[in-house]
Amino acid sequence: MSTTTVFAQVMAFGHREVFRRCVEKYSGDVGCRGFSCHDQWLAMAFAQLTYRDSLRDIVTGLESRTPLLYQMGFRSRVTRSTLADANESRDWRIYADWAQSLITQARKLYANEGFGVELTQTVYALDATVIDLCLSVFPWAHFRSTKAAIKLHTLLDLCGSIPSFMVVTDGLVHEVNVIDELPIESGSIYIMDRGYTDFQRLHRFKSEGAFFVIRAKSNLRFRVVESRLVDKGTGLRCDQTIRFRGAQAGKDYPDTLRRIRFYDLEQKRSLVFLTNIFHLPALIIAHLYRCRWQVELFFRWIKQHLRIHKFVGTSQNAVRLQIWVAISAYLLVAIAKKKLGVKASLHEILQTISLTPFDKVPLQELFMKHDTPFGMIDDENDTLNLLYES
């Protein structure tokens, strides 16, 4: 029997020394009177893993098992006022950096995971999702006349569906602007929807030795330099080398591009892709774009299973802090799943943790008792197939 709680075992998959350096970087504990950044992290992570929607819920849940709090890692009492003050004043970048360290750890563990297309290069999907807020409560997040929102921009490594780069912005920031901040890796492939169409920014991928696949807009003006034969039985309709005809587009992207048109029989729609990949078969590129749905699945998953639809603070700092804590909690569970060799899905693991945070049971024993304890979808790939078919 384990001598530590299930919650403490999950938290142990994050390196305490790394967290301490994140706190020191932004002077997070300077002037604090007992309630440290680590206590704040534990309280907010507890809220994520046990589905608590308010400060009152968090405090009530922790106080229900006060004798166990020390074993869970807490070194001071958690009250509504101290937690609220910490969320308002402690720099959210502490938890953004902490999440980035967990991203690095998780990506190493999932580096050999497959995603349906056999390639040696790293493949990323870039997208953004809007997180709706109440305009009267969050006036700083003005989005539309009657709506407030922020955006979560994510670059998802398709191996293991682990985010490699994330940015939280105001809702009014257009997705394409995030390309300016994107760390581009030579040799990697980036998959994007047509909302990221900006040929000057796309040329940056080519300049830095990377590749991209993007949906083409219908008003694209181009001339065909070369056409290649395609097997129309596979859904392919054309495979061309093109140059832009417009003066501005030609200036922004002066090189040739590959244009592929693919007819999706299941969805009964025609898709046109632009890419600077000339060494892969056209059908592989079409399949690569289909894999972009994994980032949509990731957004749907975190909105359904993490506490980011209700916020326990109203300031910009508190909202950003809660989002980064949510992402960190997701990553810790993903790390635990891989290190323990658990077959259950992330959803099932979260459900189990939410019901047993105070139990003193070894994690591996807890999860190995039943591969699918709730009789739900076995893994995220099944969910991806359902999403694509819907």
Q: Are 26 and 93 in contact (CB under 8 A)?
A: yes
Q: Are 241 and 153 in contact (CB under 8 A)?
A: no
Residue 1 has a pLDDT of: 53
Low-confidence ranges of the chain (pLDDT < 50): 370-390
Residue 369 has a pLDDT of: 59
Smallest CA-to-CA distance from 14 within 335, 313, 247, 353 is with 335
CA 297 vs CA 97, 271, 342: distances in Å:
24, 20, 21
Q: Which long-range contacts (CB under 8 A, 24 or more apart) does 238-241 make?
A: 239/282, 241/278
Q: What is the pLDDT of residues 326-364, one digit of tens each?
A: 999 999 999 999 999 988 888 889 889 999 999 999 988
| 389 φ/ψ sector (left φ>0, alpha ψ -120 to 50, else beta) | alpha
- Say how far apart CA 150 and CA 168 lie, in whole Å: 7
Residue 112 has a pLDDT of: 83
Number of H helices, E strands in the chain: 14, 10
Burial group, residue 146, by CB count within 10 angstroms (0-12, 13-18, 19+): exposed
What tokens appear for 179 in the block? 């390309």
Residue 113 has a pLDDT of: 82
Q: Are 205 and 160 in contact (CB under 8 A)?
A: no
Q: What's the pTM value of the predicted model, to 2 decimals?
A: 0.85
Q: How is residue 222 annotated by DSSP?
A: E
Residue 2 has a pLDDT of: 61
Residues with Cβ within 8 Å of 107's Cβ and at least 6 positions away in sequence, in order, are 157, 159, 160, 162, 164
Smallest CA-to-CA distance from 327 within 102, 28, 86, 27 is with 102
CA 170 vs CA 142, 309, 314, 320: distances in Å:
8, 16, 14, 11
